Amino acid sequence: MPGTTGGRAERGFMITTNSLLKIFKKSLLYILPVGVLGTCSPDLSDDPIPPATFADIFINLSLPENLVLNTNGNSKYFSGGVRGIIVHRVNASTYRAFERNCSFQPNNACATVGVHVSTLYMEDSCCGSTFNFNGDPTGGPAWRPLRQYQTILNGNELTVTDEVVN
Ligand code: FES
Protein backbone atom coordinates (compact mmCIF):
# COMPACT_ATOMS: atom_id res chain seq x y z
CA MET A 1 0.00 0.00 0.00
CA PRO A 2 1.19 3.42 -0.80
CA GLY A 3 0.53 4.50 2.78
CA THR A 4 2.70 1.71 4.19
CA THR A 5 5.52 2.38 1.78
CA GLY A 6 5.29 6.05 2.65
CA GLY A 7 5.34 5.20 6.37
CA ARG A 8 8.44 3.04 5.98
CA ALA A 9 10.12 5.70 3.96
CA GLU A 10 9.30 8.29 6.63
CA ARG A 11 10.55 6.02 9.45
CA GLY A 12 13.67 5.37 7.45
CA PHE A 13 14.26 9.09 7.09
CA MET A 14 13.68 9.65 10.80
CA ILE A 15 16.11 6.90 11.71
CA THR A 16 18.70 8.47 9.44
CA THR A 17 18.10 11.90 11.02
CA ASN A 18 18.35 10.49 14.54
CA SER A 19 21.56 8.68 13.66
CA LEU A 20 23.02 11.84 12.25
CA LEU A 21 22.04 13.74 15.38
CA LYS A 22 23.72 11.11 17.56
CA ILE A 23 26.89 11.26 15.49
CA PHE A 24 26.80 15.07 15.62
CA LYS A 25 26.38 15.09 19.43
CA LYS A 26 29.19 12.56 19.88
CA SER A 27 31.51 14.51 17.63
CA LEU A 28 30.83 17.66 19.67
CA LEU A 29 32.22 15.85 22.72
CA TYR A 30 35.52 15.52 20.90
CA ILE A 31 35.55 18.77 18.96
CA LEU A 32 34.58 21.19 21.77
CA PRO A 33 37.47 20.46 24.17
CA VAL A 34 39.98 20.70 21.34
CA GLY A 35 38.47 24.02 20.31
CA VAL A 36 38.59 25.40 23.85
CA LEU A 37 42.12 24.16 24.62
CA GLY A 38 43.44 25.11 21.22
CA THR A 39 42.61 28.81 21.58
CA CYS A 40 44.22 31.51 23.72
CA SER A 41 41.37 31.44 26.26
CA PRO A 42 41.28 33.68 29.36
CA ASP A 43 43.48 32.25 32.07
CA LEU A 44 42.53 33.78 35.39
CA SER A 45 45.52 32.19 37.13
CA ASP A 46 47.92 33.75 34.63
CA ASP A 47 51.32 35.10 35.72
CA PRO A 48 51.51 38.82 36.47
CA ILE A 49 53.68 41.14 34.39
CA PRO A 50 57.16 40.92 35.99
CA PRO A 51 58.23 43.97 38.02
CA ALA A 52 60.58 46.46 36.40
CA THR A 53 62.87 49.11 37.78
CA PHE A 54 64.51 51.59 35.48
CA ALA A 55 66.03 55.04 35.58
CA ASP A 56 63.74 57.94 34.68
CA ILE A 57 63.36 58.40 30.93
CA PHE A 58 63.65 62.05 29.91
CA ILE A 59 62.02 62.91 26.60
CA ASN A 60 62.69 66.32 25.14
CA LEU A 61 59.62 66.97 23.02
CA SER A 62 61.44 69.71 21.09
CA LEU A 63 64.00 67.35 19.61
CA PRO A 64 63.37 66.32 15.99
CA GLU A 65 63.31 62.63 16.87
CA ASN A 66 60.46 63.26 19.30
CA LEU A 67 58.38 65.55 17.09
CA VAL A 68 56.02 62.63 16.44
CA LEU A 69 54.86 63.10 20.03
CA ASN A 70 53.68 66.62 19.30
CA THR A 71 50.59 65.29 17.51
CA ASN A 72 47.59 63.90 19.36
CA GLY A 73 47.12 60.16 18.87
CA ASN A 74 50.75 59.48 18.00
CA SER A 75 52.99 57.05 19.85
CA LYS A 76 56.69 56.24 20.07
CA TYR A 77 58.67 53.31 21.48
CA PHE A 78 61.31 53.74 24.18
CA SER A 79 63.62 51.35 25.97
CA GLY A 80 62.76 50.57 29.58
CA GLY A 81 60.32 48.51 31.55
CA VAL A 82 60.18 44.79 30.91
CA ARG A 83 59.90 44.73 27.10
CA GLY A 84 60.02 48.42 26.27
CA ILE A 85 57.57 51.27 26.63
CA ILE A 86 54.99 52.86 24.34
CA VAL A 87 54.61 56.58 24.99
CA HIS A 88 51.31 57.85 23.64
CA ARG A 89 50.13 61.43 23.32
CA VAL A 90 46.45 61.86 24.20
CA ASN A 91 46.60 65.67 24.02
CA ALA A 92 49.00 68.51 24.80
CA SER A 93 48.75 67.93 28.54
CA THR A 94 48.24 64.15 28.71
CA TYR A 95 50.77 61.50 27.78
CA ARG A 96 50.53 57.83 28.72
CA ALA A 97 53.34 55.31 29.03
CA PHE A 98 52.44 51.64 28.52
CA GLU A 99 54.57 48.62 29.29
CA ARG A 100 55.00 46.59 26.09
CA ASN A 101 54.93 43.27 27.91
CA CYS A 102 51.51 41.80 27.17
CA SER A 103 49.24 41.36 30.19
CA PHE A 104 48.29 37.87 28.97
CA GLN A 105 50.89 35.13 29.54
CA PRO A 106 53.56 37.85 29.92
CA ASN A 107 56.39 35.34 30.23
CA ASN A 108 55.85 34.03 26.70
CA ALA A 109 58.75 34.95 24.48
CA CYS A 110 56.44 36.68 22.02
CA ALA A 111 54.24 38.52 24.54
CA THR A 112 55.10 41.99 23.30
CA VAL A 113 52.59 44.68 22.46
CA GLY A 114 53.01 47.19 19.64
CA VAL A 115 50.99 49.96 18.06
CA HIS A 116 48.83 48.66 15.23
CA VAL A 117 49.73 50.02 11.81
CA SER A 118 46.43 51.96 11.82
CA THR A 119 47.74 53.76 14.98
CA LEU A 120 44.22 53.36 16.41
CA TYR A 121 45.02 50.71 19.02
CA MET A 122 47.76 48.47 20.40
CA GLU A 123 48.05 44.76 19.75
CA ASP A 124 50.00 41.68 20.65
CA SER A 125 50.22 39.88 17.34
CA CYS A 126 51.37 36.73 19.20
CA CYS A 127 47.87 35.72 20.31
CA GLY A 128 45.94 38.65 18.91
CA SER A 129 45.07 40.63 22.03
CA THR A 130 44.19 44.25 21.39
CA PHE A 131 44.17 47.23 23.75
CA ASN A 132 42.85 50.77 23.54
CA PHE A 133 44.96 53.76 24.55
CA ASN A 134 43.60 53.58 28.08
CA GLY A 135 45.44 50.26 28.18
CA ASP A 136 42.22 48.27 28.50
CA PRO A 137 41.88 44.97 26.63
CA THR A 138 39.43 45.20 23.72
CA GLY A 139 39.86 41.81 22.07
CA GLY A 140 41.73 38.52 22.17
CA PRO A 141 42.56 36.51 25.27
CA ALA A 142 43.98 39.34 27.44
CA TRP A 143 41.67 40.27 30.28
CA ARG A 144 43.93 42.56 32.32
CA PRO A 145 44.97 46.09 31.29
CA LEU A 146 48.48 46.91 30.18
CA ARG A 147 50.75 48.24 32.89
CA GLN A 148 51.02 52.02 32.88
CA TYR A 149 53.99 54.00 34.15
CA GLN A 150 53.90 57.49 35.56
CA THR A 151 54.41 60.39 33.16
CA ILE A 152 55.33 63.91 34.27
CA LEU A 153 55.13 66.80 31.82
CA ASN A 154 57.19 69.87 32.57
CA GLY A 155 57.18 72.33 29.72
CA ASN A 156 58.67 70.50 26.77
CA GLU A 157 60.20 67.76 28.86
CA LEU A 158 58.28 64.56 29.45
CA THR A 159 59.54 62.18 32.12
CA VAL A 160 58.53 58.53 32.40
CA THR A 161 59.25 56.90 35.75
CA ASP A 162 59.06 53.28 36.86
CA GLU A 163 56.18 54.05 39.19
CA VAL A 164 53.21 51.97 38.14
CA VAL A 165 50.01 54.03 38.12
CA ASN A 166 47.38 51.34 37.52
S1 FES B 1 50.82 36.76 24.71
FE2 FES B 1 49.01 36.03 23.72
S3 FES B 1 47.79 37.79 23.69
FE4 FES B 1 49.66 38.54 24.50
Pocket of ligand 1 (CB under 6 A): 40, 102, 104-105, 108, 111, 124, 126-127, 129, 140-142
What is the distance between the alpha carbons of residues 142 and 127, in angstroms, rounded to a whole number?
9
Task: Among 82, 124, 130, name the best residue to mutate to test ligand 1's pocket (greatest count of ligand atoms within 8 A of Cβ).
Answer: 124
Residue 135 pLDDT > 80, yes or no?
A: yes
Residue 15 pLDDT > 70, yes or no?
A: no
pLDDT at position 44, please? 74
Nearest ligand 1 atom to the CA of 128 is 3
Ordered by start, the domain boundaries in the chain are 1-38, 57-164
Q: Whose CA is nearest to atom 2 of ligand 1?
A: 127
Task: Among 39, 102, 123, name the best residue to mutate to test ligand 1's pocket (greatest count of ligand atoms within 8 A of Cβ).
Answer: 102
pLDDT, tens digit, 9 for 90 and up, residues 16-68: 445 444 544 444 444 433 333 444 556 777 899 999 999 999 999 999 999 99
> Between the CA of residue 5 and those of 2, 8, 9, 11, what are the distances in Å?
5, 5, 6, 10
| Single pTM value for the model | 0.76
pLDDT at position 45, please? 78
Residues 130-148: what's their mean pLDDT?
Answer: 97
Nearest ligand 1 atom to the CA of 113 is 4
CATH fold of 57-164 reads Rieske Iron-sulfur Protein (2.102.10)
Sequence-distant (≥ 6) Cβ neighbours of residue 104 within 8 angstroms: 40, 43, 46, 111, 124, 127, 129, 137, 140, 141, 142, 143, 144
**Residue type present at position 6:** G
| 8 confidence band (pLDDT: 50, 70, 90) | very low
Distance 71 CA to ligand 1 centre (A): 29
pLDDT at position 40, please? 56
